[in-house]
Amino acid sequence: MAGKSATLIGATGLIGGHLLELLHNDDYFGTVKVLVRREVRFNFPDIKVEVVDFNDPDGFRSAASGSDLLFCATGTTRKKVKGDMAAYRRVDYDIPVHAAQICKETGCPHLLLVSSVGADSKSANYYLKLKGEVEEKIKEMNIPSVSVFRPSMLLGNRKEFRLGEIIAKIVTVPFSFLFPSKYKPVQAQNVAKAMVEASKRNLPGFRIYNYREMVRH
């Protein structure tokens, strides 16, 4: 059925940018709404952009309501939040969890979330622990359909400069054929494509997509 209403959080990121283009160019989606923290101009004049204070539950709910599909590809880095781990948690935990709560409360049947390979609420790694906590919390909500994507190292051209990531790619990518499949680097565009395809299948339950599922198209 065409004409689905999609809401995207995280459109300025690497995966989110690809998602925005795919959603815009696909007639399956009748309307596409992008929620952003601050005013952003995109190259798609017909995309509806709403500036949202994600710390305001009512404003967040109002902006995201009426969606058939909610894509959440938000995330930050310690550098961006200047080491403020509370601010880090507000982006990487609060936004996706609140997005899921909004799905539950407003009847949006399908949440599609970017997480990370190795996500585990018991991990000693803060990032992976946080991702695992997000997944567990969302799973408890029993939303009709939740699709969680766990990429490893993302490949693609970021708008921002990340020296550590560039070095990691130089060192890691040549030997990635030796890695177990789920730890292989993956093109951000492939993650976005897999998310769009999953949104059309709309399979019930809580489903996790690793590397193999994200490149199988």
Q: Looking at the annotation, which residues are catalytic?
A: 127, 131
Tokens of 189: 């565009």
Diameter over CA atoms, the chain: 48
Dihedral through CA 38, CA 76, CA 126, CA 87, nearest 10?
-30
Instruction: Collect all residues with Cβ–Cβ distance below 8 Å to 172 and sequence separation of at least 6.
Output: 153, 185
Residue 193 in contact with residue 22, Cβ under 8 Å?
yes
CA 159/CA 162 separation, integer angstroms: 9
Alpha helices in 36-148 (DSSP H): 57-64, 85-89, 95-106, 126-140
